[in-house]
């Protein structure tokens, strides 16, 4: 079979994309606006998407479609239920960010625990020049060593963060699912993790169960000097509640690499925060050069495995 492959967002990933070694026609687009997608994928048998949304209403209009290849780990942009019902293979990318995302999460935690942004702001404002001492101690400095790290989500990325945390001498708590009737061995009740942790790092998928995982009630359970890190999905956290928590001092700080809607063309309350205890980066925790190349190499492998009749990394 000669497949027609359409890559909807080639510019969303940097690196060399090795074309698969089976007969195919290939079209790629730097980016794809929602209104452009139907025409671009009309004759595709394989669609590659990173964040472009593919719902059942659109998929039902594609008679040639056999596979959706997600160029990411997250698949909340694809109608998995529809694909399962209609025999469409959906594969994702796994393990490629095992180092880069944990490093980003720990870097944020370290910067916030040591008040690096606050001190940098003061230095730029001339405070060091005016100091009567050789240094000044206006902001708290807390080590990671000896602190408690709460990890929500025990996949590759959660394991990576835990591994780095332990290397710094942190005590790691694995959170049980929120609302679970019982606590599994090796895990700690979700609410107890919130109460006990100095740093909480989120590494779970966004779905009906996890949307709004952290809201006002959960933020108020946290220690007043605790740090919340989110390199997973923006929808896991009630952003308006987080803004209040930071402005009113319910928690010590937060580092976010994700927002509920990306890009935030219509604004977002977190974009307005200019606080020394808040870090916001533009969904780049995954995007080291090595990780992006590993992603593209795995994407090619997923396509070739599907063409051999041995699909791998299936989520549908």
Catalytic residue flag (residue 139): no
Examine the residue annotation and report whether 233 is marked as an active-site residue of this protein.
yes
Report the helix count and the strand count for the chain, using DSSP H and E: 10, 11
Pick from 107, 112, 105: nearest CA to 231 = 105
The four Cα atoms 116, 122, 123, 124 give a dihedral, to 10 degrees, of 110
The active-site residue out of 3, 9, 233, 239 is 233
Q: Choosing from 177, 283, 312, 314, which is the catalytic residue?
A: 283
Kindly report each contact of residues 76-84 with a partner whose C-beta sits within 8 Å and lies 24 or more positions away, as own/partner.
76/205, 76/206, 76/207, 76/233, 77/49, 77/51, 77/52, 77/53, 78/49, 78/53, 78/54, 78/316, 79/54, 79/55, 80/315, 80/316, 81/56, 82/55, 82/56, 83/59, 83/316, 84/316
Q: How many CA atoms lie within 13 A of 313 on its CB side?
A: 25
The neighbour count for residue 281, using CB atoms within 10 Å, is 15
Q: Nearest to residue 243, comparing CAs of 266, 214, 284?
A: 214
Catalytic residue at 130? Answer: no
Q: Which candidate in 14, 18, 262, 308 is catalytic?
A: 262
Report, as residue numbers or ranges, the catalytic residues.
233, 262, 283
């Amino acid at each position: 079979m000669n497949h027609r492959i359409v890559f909807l967002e080639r510019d969303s990933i940097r690196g060399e994309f090795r074309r698969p070694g089976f007969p195919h026609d290939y079209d790629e687009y730097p980016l794809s606006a929602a209104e452009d997608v139907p025409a671009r994928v009309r004759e595709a048998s394989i669609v590659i998407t990173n964040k472009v949304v593919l719902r059942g209403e659109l998929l039902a209009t594609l008679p040639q479609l056999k596979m959706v290849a997600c160029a990411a780990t997250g698949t909340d942009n694809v109608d998995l239920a529809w694909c399962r019902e209609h025999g469409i293979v959906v594969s994702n990318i796994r393990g490629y960010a095992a180092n880069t995302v944990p490093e980003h999460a720990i870097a944020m935690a370290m910067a916030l625990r040591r008040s690096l942004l606050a001190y940098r702001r003061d230095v730029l404002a001339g405070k060091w020049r005016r100091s009567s001492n050789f240094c000044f101690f206006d902001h708290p400095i807390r080590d990671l060593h000896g602190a408690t790290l709460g990890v929500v989500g025990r996949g590759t990325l959660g394991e990576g963060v835990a591994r780095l945390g332990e290397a710094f001498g942190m005590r790691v708590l694995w959170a049980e699912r929120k609302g679970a009737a019982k606590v599994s061995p090796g895990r700690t009740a979700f609410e107890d993790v919130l109460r006990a942790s100095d740093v909480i790092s989120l590494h779970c998928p966004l779905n009906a169960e996890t949307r709004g995982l952290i809201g006002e009630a959960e933020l108020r359970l946290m220690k007043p000097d605790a740090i919340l890190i989110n390199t997973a999905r923006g929808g896991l956290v009630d952003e308006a509640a987080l803004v209040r928590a930071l402005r009113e001092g319910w928690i010590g700080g937060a580092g976010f690499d994700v927002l509920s809607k990306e890009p935030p063309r219509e604004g977002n309350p977190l974009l307005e925060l200019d606080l020394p205890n808040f870090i916001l980066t533009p969904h780049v925790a995954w995007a080291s050069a090595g990780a992006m190349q590993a992603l593209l190499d795995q994407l090619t492998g997923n396509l070739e495995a599907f063409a051999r009749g041995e699909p791998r990394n299936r989520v549908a």
